[in-house]
Structure 1
């Protein structure tokens, strides 16, 4: 079976027995704060019945073994839709699956205790937990007369079972302070973050929702629909509670994304890169991707330390040629996220584990593009710290390709090794003293075991 696989099996057995097999804080590779790989630990309409927290918990030993640094979990609070809610329609922020309301005690994902057990298991493996924070709006309130609109609105939240963060029409827009903020969502009542009552219960006190999540072990934050409220909200949240954070600013305007990121002190999902990868890898238009990278058309090319990169998520899944896309985000700059269904259901897990290993051991430093055409891309990472750098060769064509490229002085005079095994075995190449080397990439044909990329670095790493 092999030492690595045997150890993974043993860990799974121990966790099933409630025994921690790994010392607390024993993160396998990079930390979340140092750019480690994130697992989005859910997808839209995960199985109901209150099993999801336990499902995630059962996956943690394997994710640890793969080198995952953090898991992003779905919104944990009781939603308007009760046990069918995915959490994006928050009703009672302080009900994590312990009060009977909206037709259920547990949320779709399980009970509060199951959530806490999952978080504790993640921590025992040194894996951080990122909570999905939905604070643009609330849903499921009762009807009340609203003098600011001259009609009845669903803004009465006086009956929340937790008894915490009750609210009425004054806590939503329009109110006596202002008509509106940056945006509304789905017709739900729009929270007035400028009101001290709402700040107190959401983040600005030791009784707040943020404090409650911290108390059960949440480490970091993913803020939903940040277009809907000012960046100052996230900035103030982080000044109170700290922690790594990323915002979902769904837009292709790089200036707007970076402006929000700098104003909030959080990272941002690189949606411009996401759409350029779709154009490149699904439509054989690598020049469009390269142009965006070279001319500041992506977050990662403007400020890689603010960029969180992804191939799919619970809201959007348009990239079909995913192997080259994952090879790109796991060897390029930025902090990558792996989508649950890609890892657990749809793609070759060994290929993704290999890319995570490469990200953690080889991928460091700035990037230079060595060659590209409509269906080929070769780029080099210069290395940083204990990560020596690498050369990634992506080939979208249906044939094997070989190409001479000049990798410069970094690898000149050294033997470089191909680290994916995609060339069919152990392959080394010698880099001439003038920096020229002949590299090979397989075709893109996953059905027949060809994944369309090769990745090279100094021989003997790891």
Structure 2
């Protein structure tokens, strides 16, 4: 199966959202969905932290025992939130069967819910400047002893104590919360971390000290076990701002070198909007991918600003623009979804545009989000309004466009602030070609593109199904393509009987009205020649119901445009 994918684009899928049900069925869902996801062209799955958390409901980031993947009775449960170890292995095997790689979400920054307390010397530091001690060192009592009684030494007999941590956040004796820096020989926060708050080594719970050689050795053993036991293909590293860059580089060198896994993939969560900070981290920690956080925030601003956002600048200040080989592009994730600490959800109307921008261009390794595809569960059963529906059909078509058509040379038409387009000319394995056009204005978009004389006479259609009427490529290789207001269309060669529908969903009333208006317009102007059509086509505007009606628009730039250059 893997050989069938060797000439296809690679695409990642984050297979969870924050409110994924605690029903121990998630690994079963993954096994059941592997075939569908593979058929859409997905080549890798990022699974949630599979390790035992601090409680039965733990999403996985309050990690307790890395060696317990739903096998031992610990912290009130045998399975994790997502299921048992055996179910996880079956899901991974099924993914591999369909040519899909699997990446574990590795939470290596901290440990939570220790088994016993210890007494040791520590000092509180300022929340906004962790380099400043705000009191004298003194003894505290903290849950820093981890002996994993439920596991009884299986896989690893290593037991954690305060010697293996550099900080903690709770003095159990005094019932006091603070950022405590642990004192002792060779103790201190790592220096090769983000400099927010002076030093951002400490994030939460018991902060792991990677200057301790026993900790490094234990983590190496765990990584090897993950690879040998589960046959995983990579890691997503959580909270990389807070972990020693030197240690991450060492761990990857160990895996790729000593474990002879040179193609082991790794992407880090380095949550910074400033590209300069991101670039510095890449310099200090080579051979790793990073999520393109600046691009995510560009999407958010574009969605909120509507027509006032200049679409020609959508990639400005992004990782995919400066270091495309290192960029994992995404729209949203479990941290940015509503009601989370990093909430910055991209407005729904802009998501199809964002999906095209990450899936259908030459650069970047796109990662789509479970919550966008399958939907987001409500925060609680008593708050059904906090849930969000998925958009399977839209994302399925976008993924198929990436799988089938988004190949070869790319020509950009980023020449108007409200309407941009690009062409992918195809390659020897995927010769079909693709033209993408999108508009963030309150008017429909249209643009004349040069597809190539060799395609003269070809009939192309919008595989999204948003624009119903086909277009024909002229003798000179040019073609005029269209999209609706606040929308995107993907123009590809027509195949008789092809619908590109994998996951059907009913159209919204707004889409039905838009399509009806379009069909009436086509009937009214069926006999117009090009010049006459271009004079009249501004008569037809399909307003997008969710598009922000900003007062600051770019409409004034249209006034002096020639008809053939309108919205170009």
Would you say same fold, with TM above 0.5?
yes
Q: Paired residue for 1:167?
A: 160
Distance 1:86 1:327, change over 3 A: same
Structure 2 SS opposite 1:328: helix
User: Which residue of the other structure, out of 473, 480, 498, is the alignment partner of 1:430?
Assistant: 473
Does residue 87 (structure 1) correspond to residue 69 (structure 2)? The answer is no
Query: Does structure 2 conserve the Cα–Cα contact (< 8 Å) formed by 1:28 and 1:67?
Result: no
How many residues align? The count is 419
Specify the alignment match of 1:377 in structure 2. Answer: 420
* Mapped partners of 2:311, 2:469: distance in 1: 31
Q: Partner of 2:20 in structure 1?
A: 46
Q: Which residue of 2 aligns with 1:363?
A: 406
Is 1:443 matched with 2:463? no
Q: Whole-Å Cα distance in 2 between the matches of residues 438 and 69 of structure 1?
A: 33
- The equivalent of 1:341 in structure 2 is 371
Distance 1:372 1:282 in 2: 22
1:221-245 Cα offsets, whole Å, 9 max, x none, are: 1000100112222222222223111
Q: Distance in 1 between matches of 2:442 and 2:3?
A: 39
Q: How far is 1:30 from its partner?
A: 5.4
2:332 matched to which residue of 1?
312
Residue 135 of structure 1: CA displacement? Answer: 0.3
Cα distance, 1:397 vs structure 2:
3.6
Q: What is the alpha-carbon distance in structure 2 between the residues aligned to residue 98 and residue 184 of structure 1?
A: 31
In structure 1, what is the Cα distance between the partners aligned to 2:122 and 2:251?
A: 28
Residues 78-104 of structure 1, C-alpha deviations (whole Å, 9 max, x = no match): 1112x1111101111101111111111
For 2:359, the equivalent position in structure 1 comes to 330
Q: Deviations over 1:176-222 (max 9, x none)?
A: 2241022345531111112111111112xxx3244234421211110
Deviates more, 1:376-385 or 1:83-92: 376-385
* Unaligned residue ranges in structure 2 (runs of 5+): 124-138, 167-181, 194-199, 257-263, 338-344, 376-388, 499-568
**SS of alignment partner, residue 68 of structure 1:** coil
Residues in 1 aligned to 2:188 and 2:110: alpha-carbon distance in whole angstroms = 15
Is 1:301 the counterpart of 2:321? The answer is yes
**Corresponding residue for residue 156 of structure 1:** 145
* CA–CA distance in structure 1, aligned partners of residues 84 and 226 of structure 2: 15
Given that 2:27 and 2:88 are in contact with CA atoms closer than 8 Å, whether structure 1 keeps it comes out as yes
Report how far residue 140 of structure 1 moved.
Answer: 0.8
Contact 1:193 1:199 in 2 (8 A): yes
What SS does structure 1 have at the residue aligned with 2:206? coil
1:109 deviation in Å?
1.0
> 1:308 & 1:64 partners in 2: Cα distance?
19
* RMSD across aligned positions (CA): 2.7
Query: In structure 2, do the counterparts of structure 1 residues 110 and 358 end up closer, same or farther at CA, with 3 Å as the change threshold?
Result: same
- Is the 1:74–1:131 Cα contact (8 Å) retained in structure 2? yes
* 3-state secondary structure, aligned to 2:75: coil
Structure 1 residues 287 and 424, CA, compared in 2 at 3 Å: closer, same or farther?
A: closer
Matched, 1:76 2:103: no
Judge which range, 253-262 or 129-138, deviates more. Answer: 253-262
Rg larger in structure = 2
Q: Deviation at 1:428?
A: 3.4
After superposition, the C-alpha distances for 1:284-323 in whole angstroms (9 at most, x for unaligned) are 2575553352x5x101111222111111111103112211
SS of residue matched to 2:489:
strand
What is the CA-CA distance between 1:36 and the residue it aligns to?
1.1
TM-score, normalised relative to structure 2 = 0.68
Q: Which residue of 2 aligns with 1:117?
A: 90
Q: Quickly say closer, same or farther: Cα 1:86–1:171, change in 2 above 3 A.
A: same
Tell me if structure 2 keeps the 8 A contact 1:156–1:169.
Answer: yes
Per-residue Cα deviation, 1:113-170 (whole angstroms, up to 9, x for no partner): 1111111111111111110010011111132112344312221113453333311111
Counterparts of 1:154 and 1:364, CA distance in 2: 54
Structure 1 residues 46 and 146: CA distance shift in structure 2, 3 A? same
Alignment of 1:206-355 (within 5 A): 207-242=221-256, 243-262=264-283, 263-284=285-306, 287-291=309-313, 293=315, 295=316, 297-317=317-337, 318-320=345-347, 321=349, 322-332=351-361, 333-345=363-375, 346-355=389-398
- Paired with 1:288 and 1:195, the residues of 2 have a C-alpha distance of 50
Q: How many angstroms apart in 1 are the aligned matches of 2:428 and 2:103?
A: 27
Q: 1:176 aligns with which of 185, 189, 195?
A: 185
Note if contact 1:155-1:168 (Cα within 8 Å) is conserved in structure 2.
yes
CA contact (8 A) 1:418 1:454 kept: no
Query: What is the aligned partner in structure 2 of residue 21 from structure 1?
Result: none
Corresponding residue for 1:411? 452
Distance 2:439 2:469 in 1: 19
Which consecutive unaligned segments of at least 5 residues does structure 1 have? 1-24, 445-451
Retained in 2: the 8 A contact 1:413–1:431?
A: no
Counterpart CA distance in 1 for 2:9 and 2:143 is 42
